[in-house]
């Protein structure tokens, strides 16, 4: 299996349960790892035979622009779109970290990790 990854993609977005979070926004970091088994010989050196991490980044950008109350919802949307764009993928892991969440004390980040396939 081959894995491609994006680590530390940074976004400013308006996700949060409370109206203030959706109004003020916050910084987020996203890590995405996608595993797949090549369907063809990778020695032919064609981008169409792999998972294009530029397209994965674009998916993350587009989903981060959609304000949502839960970062879990954002993570699931990213996973669903990667599966749709690259139906040959076997595993996807999306981690979203909300930097400096508005809590009573200092916290570096809160976060969520979404895995595909789901482990039950």
Indicate which residues carry an active-site annotation. 98
Q: How many CB atoms lie within 10 A of CB 48?
A: 7
Contact 111, 97 (CB under 8 A): yes
Percent helix, strand and coil across the chain, each to the nearest 5: 30, 35, 30
Candidates 95, 86, 112; CA nearest to 60 is 95
């Amino acid at each position: 299996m081959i894995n491609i990854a994006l680590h530390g993609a940074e976004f400013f977005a308006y996700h949060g349960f409370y109206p203030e979070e959706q109004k003020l926004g916050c910084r987020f970091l996203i890590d995405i790892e996608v595993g797949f088994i090549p369907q063809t010989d990778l020695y032919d050196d064609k981008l169409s035979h792999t998972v294009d991490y530029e397209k994965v980044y674009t998916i993350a950008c587009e989903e981060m622009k959609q304000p949502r109350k839960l970062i879990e919802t954002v993570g699931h949307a990213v996973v669903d779109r990667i599966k749709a764009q690259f139906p040959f993928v076997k595993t996807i892991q999306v981690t979203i970290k909300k930097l400096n969440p508005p809590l009573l004390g200092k916290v570096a980040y809160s976060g969520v990790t979404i895995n595909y396939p789901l482990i039950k």
